Structure 1
């Protein structure tokens, strides 16, 4: 005769809630068929309220819907929800692969679609193609990657939200592209054509050791729509009005912090032909900042 675990009754509501939240159709409606811009502005305002008890309450609610783990955070008490979203790590919490032949992951993430760009076309999900020219909004940068290698790195809301340099090099130019704030979760990627090309994003042109041009494309999303870069004294967000082309010349070492999202989203990494995905990198793989993402030619 089956015997119930003493905690089964306590866990049942959470399991039912998880099944409810994971239903793709419902998830899609709740996160995309809403006034996305207005909701994003509202959450942005709320998250910056500095009140420690409100932050604790908000984080407690947040934990009910995500696997939030603050064990590697430098601070564990936060004055605002925003401070928790953009938290720094304890020293030594991540190890950066020191091999000069390795392009390291710029962030903690779940790997999405990845592989070789085929004549300027790639995929956000099975059967959902988009083009480099569309994503890069006509930037000549796209020419570097016609037959290059790319990887989609999705940050969930519970993950560490800062991103770092994948190799030694220089940040040379930033292109800001204003746009929509659709969710970028798998349910949306499977339903909304050209989603990354429609959302707010930035193109970060870097030249790494060896002269290779590698571009990071942070893509904002609902409740996020805000990207900060240490190299720029501006916040790239829905109310930003330019300039859209920003020249810069900032050196960095592999693993240096480049900036952060203010909630969680996606970073697309583009490398020229000759780069290959590191062993084990495939859709669904979980990766941490500093681990091998690609190998140089």
Structure 2
């Protein structure tokens, strides 16, 4: 067995994985990685990418660029035009990103609008979104609707796109921790998504239907960029946390990116439910059918 396979097997051991990715100085390690990944030196880039490849399968055949200036440059890579066709059906909300589907299903009718991060680990939307007037109004709208958790792994394409033609009206930034958001941590840390750094994207579809997307950052990836907000949202951000927007996107248009990979939570009101075949564990690509309006 080669070293790469041995390292990958080691990373899959739940106890070791949890210790290595969570029982460490998460904030300091994340800041260091943010700096280190941007070093533009061929030796640093090549060694970093070799280590990265040792832990995962990294396929760059779809990347728009054929060479990268730094590790970060590879993390946030764009894709060649046309490699992610978007489902054109008007009733379909497409996946905003490449991902593995995590917990998904129906949003609770209870006051907190309970959903799950993993089996047996519920969390209320009130904890995720906070207690502001806008958050409370969104929770009231979403009760009885649908939710889906989309986990981006480190080797995936890290940009996210509009699942339908929509208007982004408001962004609420929540500073927080940098727990790993892999399934191992989600089974051990209660309300993990509510603890981590995240941004709540309040949007409306063309007919006025509300849509909520929440990109959640994680260890090594506590930074996200939104095209509608010209700042990096991360631990160093010192600006206002309530960010009004007036940005319109066509279906499939890029909305932003993670600085590495993490999770996007998608919430819809009643009348929109999971597309056929969308279930926990499925790999999905940006543009494929994720949710569907039911007549």
The answer to whether the superposition gives a TM-score over 0.5 is yes
**Once the two structures are superposed, what CA deviation does each residue of 1:168-192 show, in whole Å capped at 9, x if it has no partner?**
0111100000000000001100000
Q: Which residue of 1 aligns with 2:293?
A: 296
Q: Is 2:117 aligned against 1:124?
A: yes
Q: Which residue of 2 aligns with 1:77?
A: 67
Q: Is 2:234 aligned against 1:237?
A: yes
Q: Which residue of 1 aligns with 2:102?
A: 112
Q: Is the 8 A contact 1:132 1:146 kept in 2?
A: no
Q: What are structure 2's unaligned runs of at least 5 residues?
A: none
TM, length-normalised to structure 2: 0.95
Q: Is the 8 A contact 2:7 2:54 kept in 1?
A: no
Bigger Cα displacement from structure 2, 222-231 vs 138-147: 138-147
Q: Which residue of 1 aligns with 2:37?
A: 47
* Equivalent of residue 89 in structure 2, options 76, 86, 99: 99
Written as runs of structure 1 = structure 2, the 5 A alignment for 1:1-297 is 11-119=1-109, 120-138=113-131, 139-140=135-136, 141-297=138-294
SS of residue paired to 1:187: helix
Q: What are structure 1's unaligned runs of at least 5 residues?
A: 1-10
Shift of residue 162 of structure 1? 0.2
Q: Is the 8 A contact 1:218 1:267 kept in 2?
A: yes
Q: Is the 8 A contact 1:111 1:284 kept in 2?
A: yes
SS of residue paired to 1:233: strand
Shift of residue 17 of structure 1? 2.6
| In structure 2, distance between residues paired with 1:22 and 1:213 | 38
Q: Is the 8 A contact 2:153 2:262 kept in 1?
A: yes
| In structure 2, distance between residues paired with 1:290 and 1:53 | 36
SS of residue paired to 1:64: helix
Bigger Cα displacement from structure 2, 106-115 vs 132-141: 132-141
Bigger Cα displacement from structure 2, 116-125 vs 281-290: 116-125
Greater C-alpha radius of gyration? 1
**Once the two structures are superposed, what CA deviation does each residue of 1:73-118 show, in whole Å capped at 9, x if it has no partner?**
0012111111000000001110100100000000000000000011
Shift of residue 52 of structure 1? 2.9
Misfit runs of 4+, over 4 Å: none
Shift of residue 242 of structure 1? 2.4
Aligned in 2, Cα 1:83/1:15: closer, same or farther, shift over 3 Å? closer
| In structure 2, distance between residues paired with 1:263 and 1:156 | 9
Bigger Cα displacement from structure 2, 183-192 vs 20-29: 20-29
Q: Is the 8 A contact 2:5 2:54 kept in 1?
A: no
Shift of residue 210 of structure 1? 1.9
Q: Is the 8 A contact 1:152 1:267 kept in 2?
A: yes
Shift of residue 147 of structure 1? 1.2
| In structure 1, distance between residues paired with 2:33 and 2:168 | 30
